[in-house]
Every structure is written in C-alpha cells, then in structure tokens.
C-alpha cells in the first residue's frame, strides 16, 4: 500500500518561505512534513491522546444563550406629521 502524501493548503515553508510547498503524511505513528522546494524535513510523534474539539462560542452547551430583548420595528409615514 502506497503512502498518501497530501499538500497543506496555505502552509508556508519555515526554511524557504514558499507557500503551498509543504506536504504531510503519517507512517508508523509518526507524522512527517517536508517541502518540495527545499530540503526542509520534520518528523513528529503522534500522541496517543484523544483529540478534543476546541471550545468556541458555538459549541459551549453549558452556557445559556444570551437573551436579547426583542422590540417591534415601527415604520413611520413621512407624510403623516
């Protein structure tokens, strides 16, 4: 089975500063990154920890939604003074 290498859209190489030249792949519990324009190469061990979703204002279920006072809109007739 061939290893599928993927380009990271918008990534800038830390060595040559070229955009869209970094590709990434995983093999044997290690994440690799390299640049196709220069000799940049990096390997990082993949942690066995469970990934959790980042907390944002949208996914906080414990907070009550902010209540906004709703007021009706009145349309005024400029000819009626």
The predicted-structure confidence for 5-50, as pLDDT tens digits, reads as follows 999 999 999 999 999 999 999 998 899 999 999 999 999 888 755 5
Check residue 16 and give its pLDDT.
Answer: 94
Whether pLDDT at 77 is above 80 = yes
Whether pLDDT at 58 is above 90 = no
Whether 38 contacts 19, CB under 8 Å: no
Instruction: Parse the chain into domains and list their residue ranges.
Output: 6-45
Tallying the residues shown for the chain, one arrives at: 81
Whole-model pTM: value is 0.53
Please tell me the distance from the alpha carbon of residue 11 to that of residue 15, in angstroms, as a whole number: 12
Q: 43-51: long-range contacts (C-beta < 8 A, 24 or more apart)?
A: none
Whether pLDDT at 62 is above 90 = no
**Mean pLDDT of the 60-69 span:** 65
Whether pLDDT at 80 is above 80 = no
């Amino acid at each position: 089975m061939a290893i599928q290498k993927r380009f990271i859209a918008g990534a800038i190489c830390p060595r040559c500063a070229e955009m869209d030249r970094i590709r990434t792949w995983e093999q044997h519990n290690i994440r690799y990154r390299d640049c196709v324009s220069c000799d940049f190469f990096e390997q990082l061990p993949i942690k066995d920890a469970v990934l959790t979703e980042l907390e944002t204002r949208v996914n906080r279920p414990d907070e009550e939604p902010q209540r906004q006072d709703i007021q009706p809109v009145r349309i005024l007739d400029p000819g009626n003074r």
